Amino acid sequence: MKRCIALSCAAALSASLAMPAQAADAPQSTVTGSVTAVNDYLFRGLSQTNRDPAVQAGIEYDHSSGWYVGAWGSNISWLSDASSSAAPVSSSLEVDVYAGHRGSLGGDWTYDAGLYEYYYPGSYPDGFTLPYTLEGYAALGWKSLSLKYSHAFTNLFGVARSKHSDYLDLSWNYEFVPNWLINAHVGHQTVKNNPGFSYTDWKLGITRNFDHGYSVALGYYDTNASRLPYTNAEGHYLGRATALLSLGKTF
């Protein structure tokens, strides 16, 4: 009996001595932020700023368990640009909040799933379909490839009767030499009950990362979006081919 107690005490002592080393090796919770300037804010291939520049910022808390929560914002003009003088919309800001869980499936496989809310503070005329959108998403990654599916639980960005629209996104981000990445993407937006609004977008770009969290990215973006639903009141087609330059800083 005494031998068993002694072994138990020794095991407990060994475990207690090992705990600080295990804690030091465990993943740590982090808070990260970002600030980016772009010559045009493109979302799924469509200009959100009528081809004008945007400043964007975000912050994210990542727990060591894999859970995360974040917020992101940018100036926009697409809502006011699409409205008429008889029924004007006053909204110049997009504020997003999101939460999810990401992790490894073993080997080179990863996963990411969560909820994403797009919010556009402002004033809207009576009868206007509000643009606020809630999407759920799930992504599966393998090495530098990622396949992501997003599903809208609300109307999609102010399009009436568009609940249950979805977006499928295949992305490839490959570091071909240290700090240089090739970025390629193709996505398809399906807009429920509005087939004329559905379209495909794609991009090809390159990113250069620098010390202290700085980065520069240049990309070519294009879509096959129909001109009628995606031309604003100023006559600008928002799905046109575009060269996008961005300057970013993470901290």
**Per residue in 98-112, pLDDT tens?**
999 999 999 999 999
- Rounded distance, CA 229 to CA 82, Å? 10
Query: For domain 31-250, which CATH number applies: 3.30.450.20, 1.20.1730.10, 2.40.160.40, 2.70.70.10?
Result: 2.40.160.40
Residue 86's pLDDT is what? 77
Enter the tokens of residue 151. 């599903």
- pTM here? 0.87
Residue 26's pLDDT is what? 55
Contact between residue 185 and residue 170 where contact means Cβ atoms under 8 Å apart: yes
Which neighbouring-strand residues pair with 62? 30, 68
How many residues are present in the chain? Answer: 251
Contact between residue 101 and residue 68 where contact means Cβ atoms under 8 Å apart: yes
Contact between residue 206 and residue 182 where contact means Cβ atoms under 8 Å apart: yes
Enter the tokens of residue 203. 């991009």
Residue 25's pLDDT is what? 54
pLDDT means over runs of 10, the chain (251 residues): 35 35 62 98 98 98 98 97 86 98 97 98 94 98 98 97 98 98 98 96 98 98 97 95 98 96
Residue 87's pLDDT is what? 81
Domain ranges of the chain: 31-250
**Per residue in 32-82, pLDDT tens?**
999 999 999 999 999 999 999 999 999 999 999 999 999 999 999 999 998
